[in-house]
Amino acid sequence: MLLNYYYWYFTKALSPKVCQRIISLSKRHKKLKAITGHSTKKVTYQKLTKQQKLNLSKTRNSNIVWLNEPWLFELLQSYVRTANQNSGWNFQWERTESIQFTQYKKNQFYGWHQDTFPHPHTEGPLKGLIRKLSVIVSLTDENKYIGGDLEFDLRNFSDKSDNIITCKEIKPQGSIVVFPSHVWHRVKPVTKGTRQSLVMWNDGKPFV
């Protein structure tokens, strides 16, 4: 899929006060070891095999909390709608998954990946749907950590080499980036401090 815009951003969209409110909200829940893949089943890190845990350690290392506060969905969706229209994507979606609070401490990272998958969800309320739009919100003051850069690979099918860029627009606290879920991206290792963010996905029927 060729895109005129690979991501759309809003600098310092959320105030430091709102960011701190979200961080405080996450502390009410037990943090989970993040895994990869999507499923409506409650698959946890503890249920993975030894080999699966080894494979995961090479791909992703972070801790998460799931949030379902209505006010938070409403707040973020206004930016998603604006980005979807202004970018010209005009994607259609039907449901939004639970919002993921993600924490990266020193040496934690998330390697190259796409948020969407080759096949739609097979069960539950998301059955028959795929991830179409992804949202990342920066919650941490950029001066409080080093590393943890968000990078995109913007190569097209005809490109013979990668086209990696650093998304500097996401660094300021409260900034929001919206992008099609099939775009490859990664979070580089944090080398000092703690990086905290939100991730949200809007799901719809597969493209035709």
pLDDT tens-digit readout, 55-67: 888 899 999 999 9
Going by C-alpha positions, the residue among 58, 29, 33, 63 that lies closest to residue 197 is: 63
Could you tell me the residue ranges of all domains in the chain?
Answer: 8-204
Instruction: Summarize the confidence of residues 83-98 as an average pLDDT.
Output: 96
Of 203 and 40, the one with more pLDDT: 203
Residue 189 gets which letter from DSSP?
A: P
Ordered DSSP codes for 6-53: S-EEETT-S-HHHHHHHHHHHTTS--EE---S--SS---GGGS-HHHH
pLDDT the model gives residue 51: 87
Instruction: Summarize the confidence of residues 20-48 as an average pLDDT.
Output: 82
> Does pLDDT of 16 surpass 60?
yes
> Does pLDDT of 128 surpass 80?
yes
Report the percentage of the chain scoring pLDDT > 90.
Answer: 75
Strands (E), the chain: 8-10, 32-33, 60-61, 63-67, 95-96, 99-104, 109-113, 130-138, 145-147, 150-153, 164-166, 176-180, 184-187, 190-193, 195-204
pLDDT the model gives residue 20: 98
pLDDT the model gives residue 86: 97
pLDDT the model gives residue 47: 81
Helix (H, G, I), strand (E, B) or coil at 159: coil
In terms of residues, how long is the chain? 208
> Does pLDDT of 38 surpass 80?
no
> Does pLDDT of 40 surpass 50?
no
Whether the CB-CB separation of 102 and 136 falls below 8 Å is answered with no
Whether the CB-CB separation of 150 and 167 falls below 8 Å is answered with yes
Query: CA angle 49-129-37, nearest 5°?
Result: 20
Amino acid identity of residue 129, one-letter, is: L
Query: For residue 182, what are the contacts with CB-CB under 8 A and spacing of at least 6?
Result: 1, 114, 115, 116
> Would the CA dihedral through 177, 179, 182, 183 be positive or negative?
negative
Q: pLDDT-based confidence at 160, cuts 50/70/90?
A: low
CATH architecture of 8-204: Sandwich (2.60)
Give the bridge partners for 113, in sequence order: 185
Compute the mean pLDDT over every residue in the chain, rounded to the nearest whole number.
Answer: 92
Instruction: Summarize the confidence of residues 143-169 as an average pLDDT.
Output: 87
> Does pLDDT of 83 surpass 60?
yes
Q: pLDDT-based confidence at 1, cuts 50/70/90?
A: low
